[in-house]
Amino acid sequence: MIMMGIFENKDVYHTNADDPDQDAWLQRLMGDLESEPQWHDGEFIATWVFRLPAVTPAAWARWAAQTPRCL
């Protein structure tokens, strides 16, 4: 499994990394893992944005409202 976080810039990344609520979420996640994940920090050279036709804005909003804020 690959989990990716994409941030607008490094300041936003560091703000998220220093957030106690984010750390609490990560600690809960770590409790469900068998071992420490591998961490790979990096930068994107290019990005592509796509949207599946079946995902409506309303469905996306419902999903986002129920998803932990680390996304």
C-beta of residue 28 within 8 angstroms of C-beta of residue 34? no
Q: Spell out the domain ranges in the chain.
A: 10-36+43-65
pLDDT band for position 71 (50/70/90)? very low
Q: What is the pLDDT of residue 52?
A: 59
Q: Which residues of 12-44 are buried (b: 16+ CB within 10 A; e: fewer)?
A: eeeeeeeeeebeeeeeeeeeeeeeeeeeeeeee
Whether the CB-CB separation of 16 and 68 falls below 8 Å is answered with no
pLDDT mean over 22-41: 87
pLDDT for 48-70, tens place per residue?
666 556 667 787 788 778 776 65
